[in-house]
Chains A and B, each alone.
Chain A
Amino acid sequence: MSGAHHGHGATTKVHEGTRIALVGSPNSGKTTLFNALTGLRAKTGNYPGVTVARYEGVTTLDDGQVVIEDLPGTYSLDPISPDEQIVADVLDPQHTDTPTPDALVVTLDATTLRRSLGLLTHVLQTGLPVCVVLTFTDELTRRQGSLDVDLLRRALGVPVLAVVSGRRQDLGRLRDLLATAQDWARPAVLPPTGTTEVSAWIASVLASAHYDVPLLDERTRRADAVLLHPVWGTLVFFATMFAFFQVIFTVAAPAQALIERFFGYLGSWVTTHLPEGWVSSFLSDAMLGGVGGVLVFLPQIALLFVLVSLLEGVGYMARAAFLMDRVMSRAGLEGRAFVALLSSLACAIPGIMATRTLPSARDRLATMMGAPLMTCSARLPVYVLLIGLVVDSGTRWGPIGAQGAIMFGLYVLGALSAMTSAWVFSRLGRSHGPLMPFYMEMPPYRMPSLRSVGLAVWDACKTFLTKIGKIILGTTIVLWLLLNLPNHSVGDMQAAGVDTGDDAAVSAYVIDHSYAAGAGHFVEPVFQPLGFDWRINVGVLASLSAREVFVATLGQVAAAEQPDDPGNALSRMTVDEGPRAGEPLFTPPVVAALLVFFLYALQCMSTIGVLRRESGSWRWPALAFGYLFAVAWVMGLLARVVVGAVT
C-alpha cells in the first residue's frame, strides 16, 4: 500500500523531527508498545501548566529516528478528567501550548474492539494521519474470538497492524510503517460524530471485519469468583498485603547486608588510609555515614516496586480498587481514589497525579489531602531504622516476624489516617452535586511483561539514586557543615575541660557546640513532650527536605560521636542532659513517637511542590503542611504516652 512511496524524498522528509503520538484507552497495551519501541531511552517531562507526566522516547527506524510520545490513556476526546483534557489539547492543532504530533498511532484492544472503536472515531476527526495497532490479538484467539485484520483495514481505510506485545517481527513491521507516516492511507469519508451514527458505523465495521466477540476469559472468571468475593476477596486482599510486607523485609535483607558490608569496608579504608582531619571526617561521616546509610535501602525500594508493578501488571490493582470502593464510599470517595492512594504507597507524587482520573474536583482535593499520609517508600528507610532500634530482627510472634508485623501495622495506620483525612476534607467541601457513577474496567488477568516490571523498578531506583545524588547529598553536606562549625581551637576545648587526645570526646564536643546543635536546641521546647532530644530534632528539621535525610543525619551524628562503631552507635546513644540524662535515647516510647510523627508529618518538598501545581495555589499545600504537622505532633505524643504505659 504505502511501500511504493518509500522513495528518497519521503524518507529524508519523514524523519527530520517527526513526532508520532500513541493514543489509546487505559489497559490497551499502549505503554507496553511504547516501551517496546523506545526501550530504555524514554525521558519524562511535564505538559505546560499541569503536572501530567509526559513520556517521550526515540525509536530507530532503518534510516533515521522518530520521536514517540506516549499520551495518557483516554476513553474519548470529550474530556471529563484532566488526563483526557491533555490528550484532547495535544491533538488539537488550535491549541498551541503543546506541539501537535505529525501522526498518531492508536492502540486498540482487540478484545474490547466495540468500545475502542469509539475512541478511533474521535481520533480520526483530528484529520492527522492515523494508523491502528491492534493489541491482544493472541488473547482474542485464546478466548475464541476472531477478527480479520485485512477486512478491518479495508473497512477503516487506515493502516491496521496486529502487534502482539514483545514480538519482534510485529515491531519490525510497525517500524517500517512508521517510516512512511506521511503516506498513510486516510479514510475517504470520516466516521460520523453523533452517538447513534457512531454505533451504527461501529456495528457495520465490525460485521464486515467478521468480528466475533471473545468469550469471557475462563481463568479470569474463575479467579474473580474468589478474588472479588465480598468475604474471600477481602481476606485474600489483606493476606496479599501482609505477605507483601513480609517479603519486602525478608528478601531484601541479604542484599542490604552486602551493601552495609561494602560501606563498612569503605569506611575502614578511609580511616586507615587517609590522614586524620576534615577530609577524612567529611568522607566517613557525611558521605559514607549519611549517603551510605540511605543507599542501604535501595534493595527494599526496588523490591517494593517489583511487587507493586507485578500486582498492577497481573491486573490485581483494579480488583483491589473494586473491593475497596465500598470502604472508600464510607470516606465519601470512590474506588478510583483508592488507586490514587494505593499508588501513594510507592510515592505520594504519582499518587497525587493519579487523582487526575477523578472527574470531581472535590474528590480530587480530598484525595490529595489524604495521599501524603499513605506510607511512601521514603518513609521505609526511616521505619526500618527505627523499628530495628527497638525490635530485634529475630523476634517472632508465632510464625510472624515482629518487624514485618509492626511495619504492616504502620501501613494500615497510614491508610486509615489517609481515609479519615479524605473523609474530613470531602465533608468540608461537600457541594450537593449529583454523585458520579463509579465504573471501572476489570482487565483480564494477564502475565505481566517482565520488561514493564523491569522498567518500573529501574525508574524507581533511578529516581531514588538521583534523589540521593541531589537532595540528600546536598542536605547531608550542609548538615555536615552545620554539625562541624563553628571551628573550635584546641585552646577553647582545653579551656572547656575536653581531653584533646581523645578523638571521640573532641568530636562530641564539636557537635554539641555546632550550629546544628543550636538549631536542635532552639526547637527543643516544641518536641520535648515527644521525648526528642536535640539530635533527633536536627534529624527532623533536616527531614523537611526529604524523609530519608533523617536516616542520613542520624548516621552522621552517630558516626561522629562513636567513630569506632557507628553501626551500633544509635542504639547505645544516651540522653546527654536534662532529667533523663544517662538513659538510652531510643526507648520504645520515643521510637513510637518518632514513627507516628513520621507517619503523619508532611516532610517532603517534592510533594508540596506537586500539591501546589496540581491544586493551582499555595493554599492547599500550606493547609496540608499545617494540619499534618499538628496531627503528627498530637499523635506522636499520644503514641509516646500509650507505649510508655504499656512497656
Chain B
Amino acid sequence: MQPDALVPVHAEAVDGDERALRWVMPAGTLDFVGAVRRVPVALQVLVDDGTVEDLAVEPAAVRIRLSPGRRWQDEGARLRTALQGALAIPDGWVAADPSADRVLAVAVQQVIDGDVGDYIRSHGGAVALRAIEGERVELELSGACSHCPAADLTLTQRFEVALRALYPPVREVTARTDSGLAGGRRLLGLSPSRRR
C-alpha cells in the first residue's frame, strides 16, 4: 500500500439497529477490542458534538451508533472521513479497559455467532470455545459434528479462514469432539432413513 493511501473501510448494516453501522477495517489496525476511552481528535469531535452516541472496537471493525435523530445518509460521508483520519493514527486510540487482552476471544466468538457458526448449527452441529493459549485456539465440536467426516474440513476451511480474516496472527485452531453415539468413529449413514 502506498504510504499516503487511506485506511480501507466500508460500512455494513447491523441487523435490527438502524442507527448503528459496522465500519469494517483491515484486521489488526487497532490492537484492542471493546469500548474506547479516547479517540484521535478528528473522530473525537463528532463524539463531543453529539453526532456519535456510542463507539466500540471489534476485531476488524469499529461499531458506531449515531445519536437519536441523526441519520447515516446525512452523516455517513463526514463520518467516514473522520474515521479514516483517526484510524491512520492507531496510537491515538485508548481502550477503556486496557488490561484485558481479549481480541482473539472476541474474534472467536464473532465467528461462532456469525455465518460459520450458522452453517455448523444448520447441519445439527454445535461449536463452542474451550480454551485459548497464546495464539492457539481450542474449540469444542459436538452434536452432529461428532460423527461427521467433514468436521475437520469445516474447522480448517471455514472456521480458521474466517477467524484468520478477523485475527491474522492466530496460529492454530484445534477441536475436541465428544465421542458421541458413533464412539468416535467418523461415519456417515447413521440417519434413520438408511437401513442395513
Residues of A within 8 A of B (CB): 150-151, 154-155, 157, 185, 187-192, 196-197, 199-201, 203-205, 207-208, 210
Contact A200/B7 with A188-B76, A192-B80 known, Cβ cut-off 8 Å? yes
Is A204 within 8 A of B24, CB to CB? yes
Contact B10 A188 (CB under 8 A): no
In this complex, what residue of A is CB-closest to B19? A188
**B161 to A210, Cβ gap below 8 A?**
yes
B73 proximity list for chain A (CB < 8 A) = 188-190
Q: Are A157 and B13 interface neighbours, CB within 8 A?
A: yes
Q: Which of B3-53 contact A (CB under 8 A)?
A: 5-13, 18, 21, 24-26
Whether the Cβ atoms of A150 and B115 lie closer than 8 Å is yes
Interface contacts beyond A200-B7, A204-B9: sample of 12 additional A-B pairs, CB < 8 Å, sorted by A: A151-B115, A187-B11, A189-B11, A189-B76, A189-B77, A190-B73, A190-B76, A192-B77, A196-B5, A196-B6, A200-B6, A200-B9
Alpha-carbon distance A187/B26, docked complex (angstroms): 20
Q: How far is the CA of A189 from the CA of B12 in the complex (A)?
A: 9
Q: Are B72 and A204 in contact (CB under 8 A)?
A: no
14 contacts between A and B (CB under 8 A): A150-B115, A151-B115, A155-B10, A187-B11, A188-B72, A189-B76, A197-B80, A197-B84, A200-B7, A200-B9, A204-B25, A204-B26, A208-B165, A210-B161
Indicate if the CB atoms of A207 and B11 lie closer than 8 Å. no
* Chain B, interface SS category: mixed
Assembly CA distance A199 to B7 (angstroms): 10
Q: Are A189 and B5 in contact (CB under 8 A)?
A: no
**A residues in contact with B72, CB < 8 Å:** 188-189
Chain A residues with CB under 8 Å of B7's CB are 200
Q: Which residue of B lies closest to A196 (CB)?
A: B6
Across-interface contacts of A203 in B (CB, < 8 A): 8
Known: A150-B115, A196-B5. A201 touches B21 (CB 8 A): no
Q: A273 CB to closest chain B CB, in angstroms? A: 74
Compute how far the CA of A119 lies from the CA of B76 in the bound complex, rounded to whole angstroms: 20
Interchain nearest-CB distance for A211 vs B (Å) = 12
Return the contact of B26 from the options A196, A197, A207 (Cβ within 8 A): A207
By a CB distance below 8 angstroms, the chain B residues around A185 are: 13
- CB of B78, distance to nearest CB on chain A (Å): 10
Q: Which residues of A contact B25 (CB under 8 A)?
A: 204
* Cβ of B86 to closest chain A Cβ, rounded Å: 14
Are B6 and A189 touching (Cβ within 8 A)? no
- Across the interface, do B12 and A155 meet the contact criterion of CB distance under 8 Å? yes
A199 (CB) vs chain B CBs: closest residue: B5
Main secondary structure of the interface of A (DSSP, over half): helix
A189, A190, A205 pick with most chain B CB within 10 angstroms: A189
A-B pairs, top 6 by smallest CB distance, nearest first, are: A189-B76, A204-B8, A203-B8, A200-B6, A204-B10, A188-B72
Q: Is the CB of A189 within 8 A of B21?
A: yes
Residue in chain A with minimal CB distance to B161: A210
A200 in contact with B8 given A188-B72, A210-B165 (CB within 8 Å): yes
B80 touches A189 (CB 8 A): yes
- The interface size of chain B toward A, counting residues with CB under 8 Å, comes to 25
CB contacts (< 8 Å) of B5 on chain A: these are 196, 199-200
Q: How far is the CB of B52 from chain A (nearest CB, A)?
A: 14
B115 touches A197 (CB 8 A): no
A125 to B45, CA, bound (A): 27
A188, B21: Cβ atoms closer than 8 Å: yes
A187-B80 Cα distance, complex, nearest whole Å:
14
> Chain B residues with Cβ under 8 A from A197's Cβ?
6, 80, 84
B77: chain A residues within 8 A (beta carbon): 189-190, 192
User: Quick check: A188 and B8 within 8 Å, CB to CB?
Assistant: no
Q: In angstroms, how far is the closest chain A Cβ from the Cβ of B42?
A: 15
- B80 contacts across to A, CB distance below 8 A: 189, 192, 197
**Binary interface encoding of chain B residues 60-72 relative to chain A, with 1 for a CB under 8 A from any of its CBs, else 0:** 1000000000001
Question: Given known contacts A200-B6, A210-B165, is B84 in contact with A188 (CB within 8 Å)?
Answer: no
* CA gap between A157 and B9 in the complex, in Å: 14
Closest to B79 in A: A189
Which residues of A lie under 8 Å from residue B18 when comparing CB positions?
188
Q: Whole-angstrom distance from the CB of A1 to the nearest CB of chain B?
A: 11
Taking a contact as CB atoms under 8 Å apart, the answer to whether B11 and A157 are in contact is: yes
B165 pairs with A191, CB closer than 8 A: no
B76 contacts which chain A residues (CB < 8 A)?
188-190
Q: Which residues of B contact A192 (CB under 8 A)?
A: 77, 80
A201 contacts across to B, CB distance below 8 A: 8-10
Look across to chain B and name the residue whose beta carbon is closest to the beta carbon of A150: B115
Chain B: which residue is nearest A148 at the CB level? B115
C-alpha gap A204/B161 in the complex (Å): 17
A191 to B5, CA, bound (A): 17
Shortest CB-to-CB span from B5 to chain A, Å, is 7
Q: Return A132 CB to nearest CB of chain B, in Å.
A: 14
Closest to B10 in A: A204
Q: Which residue of A150, A191, A196, A210 is within 8 Å of B10 (Cβ)?
A: A191
Q: Which of B6, B10, B84, B165 contacts A205 (CB 8 A)?
A: B10
Once A192-B77, A196-B5, A200-B6 are accepted as A-B contacts, the answer to whether A208 and B24 lie under 8 Å apart by CB is yes
Q: How far is the CB of B158 from chain A (nearest CB, A)?
A: 11
Complex CA gap A96/B180 in Å reads 69
CB closest residue in chain A, given B84 = A200
When the two chains form their complex, are residues B10 and A208 in contact, meaning their CB atoms are under 8 A apart? yes
Distance in angstroms between the alpha carbons of A151 and B6 in the assembled complex: 22
Residues of A within 8 A of B24 (CB): 155, 204, 208
Q: Closest CB of chain A to B34's CB: distance in Å? A: 21
CB distance from A461 to the nearest CB of B (A): 49
Chain B min CB distance to A67 (Å): 29
**Chain A residue, CB-CB nearest to B76:** A189
Q: Give Cα A208–Cα B110 distance, bound, in whole angstroms.
A: 14
A191 to B161, CA, bound (A): 27
Partner of A207, one of B8, B12, B21, B79: B8
How far apart sit A155 and B6, CA to CA, in the bound complex (Å)? 18
Report the nearest A residue to B115, measured CB to CB: A150
Do B6 and A157 have beta carbons less than 8 Å apart? no
| A187 neighbours in B (Cβ, 8 Å) | 11
Q: Are A154 and B12 in contact (CB-based, < 8 A)?
A: yes
Q: Please name the residue on chain A nearest to B9 by beta carbon.
A: A204
Task: Across the interface, name the chain B residue whose C-beta is closest to A157.
Answer: B13
Q: Which residue of A lies closest to B6 (CB)?
A: A200
> Closest CB of chain A to B122's CB: distance in Å?
13
Give the docked Cα–Cα distance between A201 and B79 (Å): 14
CA distance A151 to B12 in the complex (A): 10
A189 — which chain B residues lie within 8 A by C-beta? 11, 21, 72-73, 76-77, 79-80
